[in-house]
């Protein structure tokens, strides 16, 4: 099936909206072509993904979630960015390799999987060899994840919620955990156990991110319970304290405030009590808008 044919009845994500994206956008806002807001070398991903020069991030526009606190809302909700052909997307992948990126980091890619797979095929025929990172919200179908087998080396999903109420109110996706848990299970099956190079770079495996939300530390603990009971130490966990009230968070207390040290530390302590050893934690003041990229379209139209 061609990319165009797949776009005529879109069922890429759990919403399965069935939109003919050759004529009008789907629920996510995306049309037939991939739209990109920024191509960059990003130093603030997990250390095993960034190397000396940074992860080669490609920030895709639009999203299948509606997170009220999204720090990237200008691209995820508002669609800021530029449409590119699959051929240009392949060239961008090659340009990231030429820049010296440690990995190709595809950020919010779900709604463009057919275009990405086509572009990867084109790029590999021209010498592309970087490890491919699929950096997503985990709100995926098992079928879409399965289509990535053989093309993606590292899966980097969020696991945002354990409760339907939180997922429904904050992201308009009450079925989030039901879908995300199945998707992550398939990601782990595809990628296998963690494989690191001698210099600490991750070659294959799954890193699950979890952002601790204010007022939801016990939900975060349940997320960790499920991850450890299901996967043990075969995956890497990235436990984040960088929540910053942005976008429409003020309308949804307690998300209208920052995370406290006690809240975050209690979740870290829970991870230690469970026996989790493969876990990144954040220290210092990471809750700041200065870590939000400037989505100015750099690198999208040409190699700079």
Checking if the pLDDT of 170 tops 80, the result is: yes
Burial (CB count within 10 angstroms: exposed 0-12, middle 13-18, buried 19+), residue 136: buried
Checking if the pLDDT of 302 tops 70, the result is: no
Compute the average pLDDT of residues 237-252: 96
Residue 197: which of 2, 33, 48 has the closest Cα? 48
Residue 30: which of 38, 39, 21 has the closest Cα? 21
pLDDT reported for residue 1: 77
Checking if the pLDDT of 295 tops 90, the result is: no
pLDDT band at 284 (very low <50, low <70, confident <90, very high): low
* Alpha carbon distance 113, 12 (integer Å): 8
CA dist 237 → 9, 16, 155, 207, 240 (Å): 35, 29, 12, 5, 10
* Alpha carbon distance 67, 23 (integer Å): 26
**Which residues fall within 8 angstroms of residue 260, CB to CB, at 6 or more apart?**
214
pLDDT reported for residue 304: 38
pLDDT reported for residue 45: 93
pLDDT reported for residue 165: 98
Mean pLDDT lowest among 2-6, 105-109, 132-136: 2-6
**Which residues fall within 8 angstroms of residue 17, CB to CB, at 6 or more apart?**
10, 11, 26, 27
Q: Looking at the chain, how many residues does it have?
A: 304
pLDDT band at 288 (very low <50, low <70, confident <90, very high): very low
Query: 206-221 b/e with 16+ CB inside 10 Å = b?
Result: bbbbbbbbbbbbebbb
Domains, the chain, ranges and CATH? Answer: 3-291 (3.20.20.70)
Q: Which two tokens stand for residue 79?
A: 């669609």
Cβ atoms of 77 and 27 closer than 8 Å? no
Residue range 46-89, pLDDT digits in tens: 999 999 999 999 999 999 999 999 999 999 999 999 999 999 99
Checking if the pLDDT of 286 tops 80, the result is: no
* Alpha carbon distance 108, 86 (integer Å): 17
Checking if the pLDDT of 267 tops 60, the result is: yes
pLDDT reported for residue 283: 83
Q: Which two tokens stand for residue 238?
A: 């990235």
pLDDT reported for residue 289: 57
Compute the average pLDDT of residues 123-148: 98
Compute the average pLDDT of residues 8-37: 97
pLDDT reported for residue 303: 43
pLDDT band at 299 (very low <50, low <70, confident <90, very high): confident
């Amino acid at each position: 099936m061609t990319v165009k044919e797949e776009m005529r009845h879109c069922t890429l994500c759990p919403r399965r909206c069935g939109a003919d994206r050759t004529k009008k956008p789907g629920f996510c806002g995306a049309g037939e072509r991939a739209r990109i807001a920024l191509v960059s070398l990003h130093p603030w991903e997990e250390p095993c993904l960034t190397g000396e020069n940074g992860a080669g991030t490609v920030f895709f526009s639009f999203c299948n979630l509606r997170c009220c606190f999204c720090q990237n809302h200008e691209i995820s909700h508002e669609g800021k960015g530029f449409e590119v052909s699959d051929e240009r997307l392949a060239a961008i992948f090659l340009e990231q390799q030429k820049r010296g990126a440690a990995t190709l980091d595809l950020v919010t890619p779900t709604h463009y999987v057919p275009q990405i797979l086509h572009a990867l095929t084109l790029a590999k025929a021209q010498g592309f060899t970087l490890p491919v990172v699929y950096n997503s919200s985990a709100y995926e179908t098992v079928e879409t994840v399965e289509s990535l087998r053989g093309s993606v080396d590292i899966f980097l999903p969020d696991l945002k919620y354990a409760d339907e109420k939180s997922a429904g109110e904050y992201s308009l996706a009450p079925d989030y955990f039901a879908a995300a848990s199945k998707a992550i299970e398939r990601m782990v099956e595809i990628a296998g156990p963690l494989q690191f190079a001698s210099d600490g770079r991750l070659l294959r495996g799954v890193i699950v991110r979890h952002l601790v939300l204010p007022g939801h530390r016990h939900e975060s603990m349940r997320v960790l319970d499920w991850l450890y009971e299901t996967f043990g130490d075969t995956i890497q966990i990235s436990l984040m304290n960088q929540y910053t009230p942005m976008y429409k968070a003020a309308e949804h207390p307690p998300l209208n405030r920052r995370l406290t040290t006690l809240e975050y530390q209690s979740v870290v302590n829970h991870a230690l009590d469970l026996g989790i050893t493969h876990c990144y934690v954040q220290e210092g003041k990471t809750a700041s808008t200065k870590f939000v990229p400037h989505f100015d379209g750099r690198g999208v139209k040409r190699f700079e």
